Amino acid sequence: MGTPHIGAEKGDFAKTVLMAGDPLRAKFIAETFLSDVKLVNTVRNALGYTGYYKGKRVSVMASGMGMPSIGIYCYELYNFFDVETIIRIGTCGSYKENINLFDVLICSGACTNSNWIKQYGIDGVYSAISDFELTKKAYDTAHKLGIPTHVGNILSSDNFYNDTTWKKWADMGVMGVEMEAYALYSTAASLNKKALCLLSVTDHFLKEGKATAEERQLNLKKMIEIALEIAE
């Protein structure tokens, strides 16, 4: 059947899809963590794979960068391919002193400076939140695995550069910034589906230092392991 952006057939995707921004990260996850892997999408190089993790059928796919991009892919996965759960696994910059590089953020809610919600005709401010059961499972799994995590609000920003308002968001308790969670959570809510965003801290607004390529890969493995363990 396929869609304009996903060249797959119904049944090619598992009920749970892990979404990474980078197509090569999706490829890395599939080749490193999954068995009996099948490539199910190559349109626009938004690579998608389906395989098995500890006997569970799981898919992983690239979302691209920004809310418009992930919004297209998550809508099509939910609406046309019978996907029930999408877990975003990405990176972020942190605003908070108590959060360190390489910690994992479990995003129970997402703020935004985008007009994303206007498409739904809502005359107000919509609070985009994660699925509670997924959030709790992620927290419990991270605790069991000894992975440092923080649960709270994230900012989904439309701009990567020229961020002059981050201190105001930090004052409101926002943990940090990324670019996709709000669109994912809003789309899931509009379609009565499940969503969660897990983020690895690779940059910091208050502390010096950035993650090296090697450190990013090690830290991402921790986040990916949490996502795979809670996949339904």
**Residues taking part in catalysis:** 203
**DSSP characters for 55-123?**
TEEEEEEE--SSHHHHHHHHHHHHHHS---EEEEEEEEEE--TT--TT-EEEEEEEEESS-GGGGGT-S
Q: Give dist(CA 174, CA 177) in Å, integer.
A: 8
Q: CB under 8 Å to 198, separation ≥6 — which residues? A: 87, 88, 89, 90, 104, 105, 106, 107, 138, 223, 226, 227
| Helix (H), strand (E) at residue 199 | strand 194-204
Structure letter (DSSP) for residue 19: E
